């Protein structure tokens, strides 16, 4: 097999035949602590080549999943609104054509246009948000469009009670006040609260947004804004596996920052999550041999 480090492990090149599509969105404009997430999509793809196409945990084979990697969305430099419009346009087209969009970030703000696009096609959409940070500020550093405000903008679009936030271990008092009325916020843990909320997600379209900093920086140092006392990769993957049977209609993995991760732990974990997600989704779609 020819290894292509510029595409994700096992990705085919047939867009027409693909039912799931990976696309990079290397936005890195509003990151306030340490920039570098623009290199996230490349790092995830590159480190994916370290993985097997076969998942031992799921006993499933990525080679049986009909997906492709479109590469990165071309984003205008220095203009946040135009970049978000470009992402929304691409994701809208993917959903229109019956594809499952999976976004590789990039800072967490890229989730906003992706969720907006998916929501137009699935008005009863639920969002599952795994993160160290609540991202519920009304504005941050003078702007309402930021990686620190993204989930507040999402909640305002979807309405109260449709954003489920798991693993949160950093939030401002203002954010917690907002969460009481608008989101379902669970602190520190991911798997146990997911088991609690899972019945509310069944028979609903679900969008997963995963900020890789939900994992403790000991295991994933390469993130935009590290926060101590996080979950383990084992808990994250256990939660991802528990998505089996839900109706996944979109996903993103964001805030991978390879500049602060010489060993490549964060992008490697992100790549493994994406492999597992693709296999889980394909089984849910009834694909044979996966």
Q: Which residue ranges are tagged as binding site for Mn(2+)?
A: 108, 131, 133, 135, 211, 213
Q: Helix, strand, coil % (nearest 5) of the chain?
A: 40, 20, 40
**70: closest CA among 117, 113, 26, 8?**
8
Tokens representing 214?
């939900």
Contact predicate 247/34, CB 8 Å: no
Strand 100-105 with 247-254, pairing:
parallel
Q: How far, in Å, CA of 153 to CA of 66, rounded? A: 33
For residue 22, the cross-strand partners are 69, 102
Q: How far, in Å, CA of 163 to CA of 151, rounded? A: 8
Residue 99 CA, chain-centre distance (Å), reads: 16
Q: How far, in Å, CA of 281 to CA of 243, rounded? A: 9
Tokens representing 290?
């996966």
Kindly provide the residue ranges of all beta strands, DSSP E only, lying in the chain, ordered along the sequence. Answer: 20-25, 54-55, 60-61, 67-72, 100-105, 126-130, 163-168, 184-187, 205-211, 247-254
Query: Which residue numbers belong to the known binding site?
Result: 108, 131, 133, 135, 211, 213
Tokens representing 65?
């999943």
């Amino acid at each position: 097999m020819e290894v292509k480090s510029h595409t994700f492990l096992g990705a085919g090149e047939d867009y027409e035949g693909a039912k799931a599509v990976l696309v990079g969105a290397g936005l890195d404009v509003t990151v306030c602590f340490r920039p570098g997430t623009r290199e996230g999509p490349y790092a995830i793809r590159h480190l994916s080549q370290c993985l097997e196409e076969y998942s031992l945990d799921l006993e499933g084979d990525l080679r049986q999943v009909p997906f492709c990697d479109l590469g990165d969305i071309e984003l205008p430099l220095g203009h946040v609104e135009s970049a978000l419009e470009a992402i929304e346009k691409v994701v809208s087209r993917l959903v229109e054509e019956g594809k499952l969009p999976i976004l590789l970030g990039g800072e967490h703000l890229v989730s906003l246009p992706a969720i907006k696009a998916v929501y137009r096609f699935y008005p009863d959409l639920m969002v599952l948000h795994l993160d160290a940070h609540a991202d519920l500020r009304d504005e941050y550093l003078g702007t309402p469009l930021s990686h620190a405000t993204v989930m507040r903008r999402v909640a305002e679009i979807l309405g109260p009670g449709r954003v489920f936030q798991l693993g949160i271990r950093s939030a401002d008092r203002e954010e917690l006040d907002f969460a009481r009325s608008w989101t379902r916020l669970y602190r520190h843990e991911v798997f146990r609260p997911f088991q609690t909320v899972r019945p509310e997600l069944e028979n609903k379209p679900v969008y997963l947004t995963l900020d890789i900093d939900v994992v403790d920086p000991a295991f994933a140092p390469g993130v935009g804004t590290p926060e101590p006392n996080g979950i383990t990769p084992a808990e994250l993957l256990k939660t991802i596996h528990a998505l089996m049977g839900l109706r996944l209609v979109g996903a993103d993995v964001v805030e991978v920052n390879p500049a602060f991760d010489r060993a490549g732990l964060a992008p490697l974990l992100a790549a493994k999550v994406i492999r597992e997600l693709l296999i889980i989704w394909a089984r849910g779609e009834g694909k044979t041999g996966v």
